[in-house]
Amino acid sequence: MIFSDHQIIWPETLIFLGAGTTASLKMPTSWHMGSILFSLCEQEEQIVPDDLNFDCFSGFQQDICDLLNILSYKRMAEYSISIKQENIAKRCFPEANEEERKHRILSLRQHYDWPCLQSIGKIIKNSEKEVQDDFIQSVFTTIDTCLRENRGCTVDGYSFSTERLRAARELYILLINTMFACAWQQICTCKQDSLIPYMNFAETLGRMMQKDAENNEDIPFASRSFYLFNYSILTTNFDPIILWMVWQAHKKLNREQSCYLGSPARPLQLFIDF
């Protein structure tokens, strides 16, 4: 295809999801998660606190503390395991023998670098207050800048390689995803009715796209003008609730098979273009 003959088609409507979109669901905000992660990075040993700031890990507070405690080690002592860490491992892996527990701890340390992440947290802690207010994004920016330039970083005279930075990033993502998973579990267990407005919104979008497809049945199905949705979504939230509701709505509408197109007629299938 000659580029000059190619007509670029984009969605007509942009749906902008701001920070308060999922507030009624009590999903953790970036600031809330950042304050928890900031607090964890400050502590040498993790102990389940009594305050409510730890509620993003609801039901898994002790598990998170145990994980971070067995991942922790002093400089140049990656293969050293303390008696307290051995006792934690016995509680976490009761079916494993001593050698297997040691192997699991060292394997976890290789994939999730807590000392490196703590050190990155200290960089943010010593930065200006404006940076601390957006702790989550600041940590990602610091790590990603180093990885993009293929260089490590030095904190308090100690150097961290790109491999360790990647492992720290993986742990950071794990902690954030765990907070979202805990919040979602709370919704599914105690607040399912709160999802109804979001599901209705997603189903309305789906039915609008079915109607749009019917109105454009004369357009070739392989054309971008046909298969591209009339809307796109831009979100400032880390949580994927809206996208998940859209996926669920599409699944429901596809199973209903209420919209048929073409000759012979075939059921229209709605999908998400990530």
Q: Per-residue pLDDT for the chain (274 aa), expressed as one digit of tens each?
A: 454 555 677 888 999 988 778 888 888 888 888 888 888 888 777 666 554 456 677 778 888 889 999 999 887 788 888 899 999 999 999 999 999 999 999 999 999 999 999 999 888 876 655 554 588 888 999 999 999 999 988 888 888 999 999 999 999 999 999 988 888 888 888 888 999 999 999 999 999 999 999 998 888 888 888 888 889 888 877 778 888 899 999 999 999 988 999 889 999 999 865 5
What sign does the CA torsion over 124, 130, 133, 135 have?
A: negative
**Residue 180 CB-density burial (10 A; 0-12 exposed, 13-18 middle, 19+ buried):** middle
Which helix (H) or strand (E) segment holds residue 261: the answer is strand 260-261
Please, are residues 93 and 102 in contact by the beta-carbon 8 Å criterion? no
Q: Which residue has the tokens 């003959």?
A: 5
Please, are residues 108 and 70 in contact by the beta-carbon 8 Å criterion? yes
- Give the per-residue pLDDT at 52: 42
Burial string for 76-101 (b: 16+ CB within 10 Å, else e) reads: eeeeebeeebeebbeebeeeeeeeeb
pTM of the model: 0.79
Q: Which residue has the tokens 């942009």?
A: 14
Q: Which residue has the tokens 């392989």?
A: 222
